[in-house]
Structure 1
Amino acid sequence: MLTLPEIRDVRGAVDDAWRSPTADAVAAAWGLPPGSALFWRSSAAHVAVVPEGVDRRGVLYVRWVPEHAAGARRFAHGTLLHARLSADHADVAALVPSRSGRLLERLDTPVGPALAAVVRRVDGDDLDVDDLNDEVASTWGRALARFHADAARHTDVAQPAAAPPFTVLTASADAEVAAAARALAASQPGGSDGHDGYDGYDGFRATAARTVVGHGDLELDNLRWRGLRPTCFDLDEAGLRPAAADVASAVRDLLGPDPARPAHPALLDAFLDGYGRASGDVVTPHALLPHVAAIAAEQLVDLERVLARGPDPAGSGGAPDAPDEAWLVDLAAHLREHATGQRAVLLSAASALA
């Protein structure tokens, strides 16, 4: 995720009509006039939206990350993979070429150099867990298997996913998190218990699975549905990882805060059945646990990094006469709440694997 100062640099200059000088600088590379790309949100990337009726190309999402950001390399490789899959007519959103004909641009902006891409809106339905039944959940699982099959030929642009930072969390001031991290770290190759475990992007080999070019975040939020055919976007987390790890990243909403006792077991079984039938890989709910723990660990470490330079209670930059904007304080509170949820996931998974 972008740091809070990186978000403030952009969001702080957005006016009451959601116009952004930085979004204008990025959008200009796609031939869009100032004020046409309205700021929407910031998380792993900054996003602005070109509303319907503004441009003949339709509704567009303008996405960019600072070149120095921690996720810039992932953004670049995800965009390259996205471009390859789009050329193959896979089920991905359409990328829009810039005026120079490029799908990935490096640009100068008011807050420094950035990497940018533009995605066309996918028409279709936006589903959440309450909209699912067994058939739709199974179709979702088959869609992930189809993504793996389509992406398999593009390993040259896929980066290995990082090993989970369990060792970092062993130094946590939270005693329960530190203990869980020690137990999980010990399960890695060379760990004190001697069990086969996580080995970079090869993953917890004991849980099953071949290495795939995974989407990294094929949650419902990153899909649009036309009947029973979903189309995906947001490939920023794409990379080489175990199939079971990519399944785990997709079904976190089905697992819930206590992945050892899935919140939606029937839908999870349907997803896994659809994935298994389409891919030939058998992934069980128990096989997801070490990968869910790894995702939670990654998020906890990343959130600590992001929040380390959070809102200053004395004011922006420490100046008591320039307090941080309410939206920034609210965002930091939301991220701390998210960290609490990821802590629960980590402890649950570690306890079930003990």
Structure 2
Amino acid sequence: MKATVDGEWRSPVADAVGLKWGIPAGALRYWRSSAAHVFVLPPQGDAHSVLYARFAPAGSTAGARLERGAQLQARLSDADAPVAGLVRSGEGRPVELVPTPLGQVAACVVRRVDGEELDTDGLDAGAAAAWGGALAGFHQAAGALTSAVPQQQANVFARLMAHPDQDLREAAQILTLLTERLGPGPNVLGHGDFELDNLRWSQGRATCFDLDECGLMPAATDVASAVRDLLGSTPDVPEHPELLDAFLAGYQQSCGLAVTLEELQVHRAALSARQVLEAPAILDLDATVLEATGNGWLKELNDSLAGHYEDQRNIVLSTAQALAQVE
């Protein structure tokens, strides 16, 4: 993708996507790449105001997640749930499979969500409670659509028991027993990444976007994913205990479900374990490619990802150790 973007931040790949939505060639400008490539249509580019074209390779995990999330986002938007609006293509679809110079991609176009972006440093107990209530509201709005979304892959700790790292295997055994004792809890159609950077606030109401991680999951899994920054990296001592308590109180008040700290710890460890299992495929790059001239950015990215996955490994190990001591 980087090689297709010119000095004006345009790309023929984005142009191919834009055509499906009637966006003129050259109007979309590169914004960023993470789970998906994102190009922005500035306010002057279209009567729709600011739009974001998001796409990922069709047939890839990222492409499948984008397609699933866009379909759910469209259904929730049609039901007037507080999610970012999707612009349907010229053929009336919320997501398209588009042939491009780099191959077929799954693509959607999302409207910008106006409002305030909150972060942990600027959060107080009232805002944290509203955040928890907003996640409960998402679960309630999505509840009627659960049959339309597949369940996330389960038994992540069982899969981790086959890992070559002995420490991880032993941690997985401990966490499997804890998971069985706690039970799965009620399932919800979860957002999967209801963190503050995926929300915008207006008059105390949150609107969410980036539903790529959505799926049927235990409610505690979605809560644990949302509050990762409040939990921090030390499993037995939350980094922001007052804000975490307020979030959980807001969630319980809105939907009637209490989520305990122990449940959050185990489900957050499961999220980390899933990333540990995905790491080898993500980091599988030939050393000659990483060291090639002009690929310094790629080596930097690979090193950053390796550090991230090491952090996830440590969360799994430290959670198992802390909860085993409690037992």
Deviation by residue 1:284-308 (Cα, 9 ceiling, x = unmatched): 1111111101100111222221111
Hey, what's the Cα distance between the residues in 1 that align with 2:196 and 2:79? 23
Matched residue, 1:331: 301
- 1:28 maps to amino acid: L
Shift of 1:54: 1.7
What pairs up with 1:1-354 in 2 under 5 angstroms? Answer: 10-187=1-178, 195-196=180-181, 204-205=183-184, 209-309=185-285, 312-315=286-289, 322-354=292-324
**1:164 CA displacement:** 4.5
Report the more deviating stretch, 265-274 or 298-307. Answer: 298-307
TM-score for the superposition, normalised by structure 1: 0.86
3-state secondary structure, aligned to 1:259? coil
Conserved 8 A contact 2:223-2:264:
yes
Whole-angstrom CA distance in 1 between matches of 2:287 and 2:42 = 36
Superposed CA deviations along residues 46-86 of structure 1, whole A, max 9, x for unmatched, are 21111232211111110112112023333222211111110
| CA–CA separation in structure 1 for the residues paired with 2:178 and 2:253 | 30
CA contact (8 A) 2:178 2:266 kept: no
Question: Structure 2: where are the runs of 5+ without partners?
Answer: none
| Paired AA for residue 336 in structure 1 | A
Aligned residue type for 2:147 = D
- Are the aligned partners of 1:164 and 1:298 in contact in 2 as well (CA < 8 Å)? no
CA distance in 1: counterparts of 2:42 and 2:172, whole angstroms: 45
Instruction: Output the CA distance in 2 between the equivalents of 1:143 and 1:26.
Output: 32
CA distance in 2, matches of 1:315, 1:241: 38
Cα distance in 2, alignment partners of residues 115 and 51 from structure 1 = 22
In the TM superposition, residue 324 of structure 1 has moved relative to its aligned partner by 4.8
Shift of 1:41: 2.2
Q: Distance in 2 between matches of 1:85 and 1:149?
A: 11
Q: What amino acid does structure 2 have at the position aligned with 1:20?
A: S
Residue identity (%): 47
Pairwise CA distance, 1:325? 2.1
Displacement of 1:250 in angstroms is: 0.5
Give the 3-state SS of the residue equivalent to 1:93 in structure 2: coil
TM-score, normalised on structure 2? Answer: 0.93
Amino acid at match of 1:337: G
Give the unaligned 5+ runs of structure 1: 1-9, 189-194, 198-203
**What is the alpha-carbon distance in structure 2 between the residues aligned to residue 315 and residue 141 of structure 1?**
44
> Do the aligned residues in 1 keep the contact of 2:289 with 2:295 (CA within 8 Å)?
no
Distance across 2 between alignment mates of 1:14 and 1:23: 9
Question: What is the CA RMSD across the aligned residues, in angstroms?
Answer: 1.8
**1:171 Cα deviation (Å)?**
4.1
Query: Is the Cα–Cα contact under 8 Å of residues 76 and 141 in structure 2 kept in the other structure?
Result: yes
Going by fraction, where is helix more abundant, 1 or 2? 2
Amino acid at match of 1:347: L
Displaced runs of 4 or more, over 6 A? none
